[in-house]
Amino acid sequence: EDQVTQSPEALRLQEGESSSLNCSYTVSGLRGLFWYRQDPGKGPEFLFTLYSAGEEKEKERLKATLTKKESFLHITAPKPEDSATYLCAVQAGRDDKIIFGKGTRLHILP
Amino acid sequence: DSGVTQTPKHLITATGQRVTLRCSPRSGDLSVYWYQQSLDQGLQFLIQYYNGEERAKGNILERFSAQQFPDLHSELNLSSLELGDSALYFCASSLTTAGETQYFGPGTRLLVL
């Protein structure tokens, strides 16, 4: 069965304490892997799209990487404003189905 | 601001009723996606339309239906509403189809009493 699993479910860090969020997936025919940030009560905000193993993308304090089985979102020296839920999604298969993980709730303490 | 608009922002209705949610995609985007987000289920993909045609289907109930009009706006119709249909409903749009970045609207919060 196609699945997307994110870990940890929740993460509390001190400001400046770097860490990584994991997104593991089991799908056939990956068309794209997406990272989003979601603030409470708002729509997900696009961060990155990755298409093939070995690909990396960076934006400010965030860096996303992709292997054949998982993706990591690395957060370097986070600030309190980075607190949010981070969602990972894949689009895969002949029917282009889209599967979201349940997210990682990140809280950065000042 | 993603450029995707959704109306209404909030909707309160009763069980058994029917409602229509509306979405206008970003200018130039041909694909529209509908999602349901509840506390226990996370974000669930419902359906995708591309240039007026149904393109992909997810976990959409038979009581729900959608369409995309010639001007590319889309409507999601929810009928015979149940308490469990209470959720945030998001619309997203992308330029074309598979593998494209999706931009999400602010959502419609539906409460079924």
Chain B positions in Cβ-Cβ contact with residue A47 (cut-off 8 Å): none
Residue among A43, A91, A99 minimizing CB distance to B90: A43
Residue B36 sits at the vertex; the CA angle it makes with B39 and B64, to the nearest 5 degrees, is 130
Determine the length of chain A: 110
For the stretch A16-70, pLDDT in tens is 999 999 999 998 888 899 999 999 989 999 999 999 999 999 999 999 999 999 9
pLDDT over threshold 90, residue B13? yes
What is the distance, to the nearest Å, from the Cα of residue B19 to the centroid of all Cα atoms in its chain?
12
Query: Considering only residues 11 to 40 of chain A, which have any Cβ-Cβ distance to chain B shorter than 8 Å?
Result: 31-32, 34, 36
> What secondary structure does DSSP assign to A23-49, as a single string?
EEEE-SSEEEEEEEEE-TTS--EEEEE
Read off the pLDDT of residues B26-47 as tens digits, 9 standing for 90 and up. Answer: 999 999 999 999 877 789 999 9
Question: Mean pLDDT across the stretch B57-67?
Answer: 94
